[in-house]
Amino acid sequence: MSSVWARVEPLLARVQKPARYIGCEDGAIAPGQEIFGPEGPVAWLLAYPDTYEIGLPNQGLQILYEILNERPDAVAERTYAPWQDMNAQMRSHSVPLFSVESHRPAAEFDLIAFNLSSELVFTNLLEMLDLAGVPIHTERRAPTDPLVIVGGHAAFNPEPIADFIDAAVLGEGEEVIAEITDLVRGWKRAGRTSREGFLRELAKIPGVYVPSMYMVHFEGERLVAVEPRFSDVPATVDKRTVADLGQWPYPKRPLAPLTEVVHDRLSVEVFRGCTRGCRFCQAGMITRPVRERPAEQVRVMISEGLRRTGYNEVSLTSLSTADFSEIEPVVRGILADSEARPGSSGTTTINLPSLRVDAFTVGLAAEVNNGRRSGLTFAPEAGSWRLRQVINKLITEEDLYGAAESAFSQGWTRLKLYFLTGLPTETDDDTLGIAELARNVAAIGHSHTGRASVNVSVGGFVPKPHTPFQWFGQNTENELHRKISLLRNATHKVRGVNLKWHDPAASMAEGIISRGDRRIGKVIERVWREGGIFQEWGEFFRLGRWTDAMVAEGLSVDWYVHRHRQADEILPWEHLTAGLHKDFLWDDWQAALHEHGVEDCRWTPCYDCGVCTGFGIEHIVASNTPPAGGSQGTGQDLSRGGLIPVSVAPVLTGGRS
């Protein structure tokens, strides 16, 4: 392989933020002078299809980077989407996409593996392949071209990019990347002959979906069947799940960047999975069950990570960090360790993202914030108790007001509240409940300080595959605009309340892809050919490109985005599973329409969603009682913790055997 650094270097004097392209981070692993080629190590290029600043902190990518580089027979390097200015320079000087470590051309790697965290980055995937000189269509790739594989949450419905990828990995990558590496090594040694023969073998690895091994049949608009082309290719592909997070203490050598990135701090994942059961939340549905990391391992990863990187701030990451059984001892341990550290660095700031809405959580945040009161974020998600039962985000108003009282009384002046609008069964009263909650929270704030402010952030709900809401017809752009106008009118004269909203046009484009089938691939390609890259960036996004492309392909936005799906309909991702039974999801959808909540199964009996029973795995939690604080969805004061004493939802009958 050959480095293109000498050709990259002169371009860097002509672009903004050139440090994006040089690598050299602390923790980076630059491969030595191995002989690349058939006898060499399996070379992975881990690609993040957004800017360096957004991609570098990505923990999934860092974990796989390290695990692969620990193997003697593999190397892994990284690449990110070049910004527009660099892209233009590279194209005009014929410089291909390159890795940031050794600056080798992307096309010289054995695999290019993209991390897909959202749908709107799909056009960047095409852009990066094209920049790499790799044919964007899998059918046009020669045996010598790299394998293009994807993973991450947005890979759970890879049908819209089925024409462009060789394979999608469903679920967690820690174990499956080893199996893929073994297979690729064998293929390399054998001279990388038939691509199709290799892909057929690849499709047999559990968790790996090879779209080209499946035939998809449509009758008119309807999808009628998805079937494997060969009898040895599995009819359904299950996600991969690591049974015990404690066996994977990665990253051990976190990347510390040389330029500012979005999360410029150490991150340590305290648990994976979430069974709160919020019905809109794809992450909570596809990452089950809950697997906590042992508290002692968390503590070691934090102290080692801080020592190795020099950061003085750590984020304890998960989908709901206050739910970590041992959050209190872990936090106290970090503070004790940091005081014992020599020098003036004895001030570690602990960051708790994704906080639960209750007073206990605020108390925890107060303890760890080092006197800083920068801002606290809560996500009630819906404006009324009725609608919160529909979405199963079982936070009472008292929980929220208790959290607000606790925060303002402990010195915070700024709270941020996240809501969704366009949720199933949402009425204008529910929407306006958002304004009501914000007004009341601001009033609580003003009883403590005149400077109190509440920033309300409203996003348009996009239904996601593998969730109970996958059958729901998304609100139209106009309807979302109307709801946002209601909220603007209801909040614009309210002291201390500021409203922000996500662009409904972007939600609509996301909706086109989110539940799309293979026909959407042509739309993505068209948008990309029209120059529609960096679609998550407001300055580059134009809805017209998407709607024009839909028209040009003869596809209906209404049919893909706004239509309620039927019970007997075959969904485009039905042959791919996160372990959740389809009838569990359907029953949960029906329970939602009846405004019934379900409990968190990590502390209450199993309701058989299908994941643990199907995969033979189970929750790993250090405590079988819920943490203290709030009502935990029961409507009762559980501020001291303990067993949830009542059943929230009546047991539904029928539908499922």
Partner 1 sequence: MILRLRSTKLGKIRFVGHRDLGRVWERALRRCGAPVAFTSGFTPRPRISFGLALPMGAESLAEYVDVEMDPAFGELPDPAVILPQLCEFMPDGVDVTGYCIVDRSATSLQEVVTSCTWELWGPEIAADEVARACELIAADTVSVERERKGATRIDDVRPLIIDLQPSSDGLRLIAELATTGRALRPAELAGVAFPGCDRRDVRVLRTHQWVHGDHTETGVSEDSRSPREHSTSYGDSRREVISLPVAVPASTLVVGA
The residue ranges that bind partner 1 (CB under 8 A) are 5, 10, 12-14, 18-19, 21-26, 256, 258-260, 264, 307-312, 341-345, 347, 371-372
Q: Which helix (H) or strand (E) holds 76?
A: strand 74-80
Of 347 and 556, which has the nearer Cβ to partner 1? 347
Nearest-approach distance from CB 17 to partner 1, in angstroms: 8
Question: Alpha-carbon distance 198 to 178, whole Å?
Answer: 16
Of 307 and 656, which has the nearer Cβ to partner 1? 307
Nearest-approach distance from CB 312 to partner 1, in angstroms: 6
Task: Of 374, 441, 379, 381, give the one whose Cα is nearest residue 406.
Answer: 441
Residue 251: asked if its preceding bond is cis (omega within 30°), the reply is yes
Nearest-approach distance from CB 360 to partner 1, in angstroms: 24
Neighbours of 595 (CB within 10 A): 15
Tally of helices (H runs) and strands (E runs) in the chain: 21, 19
Nearest-approach distance from CB 364 to partner 1, in angstroms: 19
Per-state percent for the chain, helix, strand, coil, to nearest 5: 40, 15, 45
Of 346 and 642, which has the nearer Cβ to partner 1? 346
Q: What does each C-alpha distance from 195 to 37, 140, 176, 192 come to in angstroms? A: 17, 11, 20, 7
Nearest-approach distance from CB 474 to partner 1, in angstroms: 41
Of 22 and 443, which has the nearer Cβ to partner 1? 22
Nearest-approach distance from CB 194 to partner 1, in angstroms: 40
Of 258 and 652, which has the nearer Cβ to partner 1? 258
Angle between helices 520-529 and 122-132 (to 10 degrees): 60
Of 259 and 410, which has the nearer Cβ to partner 1? 259
Task: Of 336, 368, 363, 371, give the one whose Cα is nearest residue 352.
Answer: 368
Q: How many residues does the chain have?
A: 657
Of 25 and 174, which has the nearer Cβ to partner 1? 25
Nearest-approach distance from CB 338 to partner 1, in angstroms: 11
Query: Are 233 and 32 a contacting pair, CB within 8 Å?
Result: no
The β-bridge relationship of strands 266-269 and 313-317 is parallel
Question: Alpha-carbon distance 143 to 198, whole Å?
Answer: 9
Per-residue tokens: 406:
């606790």
Nearest-approach distance from CB 5 to partner 1, in angstroms: 8
Of 26 and 429, which has the nearer Cβ to partner 1? 26
Query: Are 224 and 218 a contacting pair, CB within 8 Å?
Result: yes
Nearest-approach distance from CB 421 to partner 1, in angstroms: 35
Torsion of CA 526, 528, 530, 534, to 10 degrees: 140
Alpha carbons within 13 A on the beta-carbon side of 344: 0
Of 10 and 375, which has the nearer Cβ to partner 1? 10
Alpha carbons within 13 A on the beta-carbon side of 19: 10
Of 312 and 639, which has the nearer Cβ to partner 1? 312
Nearest-approach distance from CB 557 to partner 1, in angstroms: 43
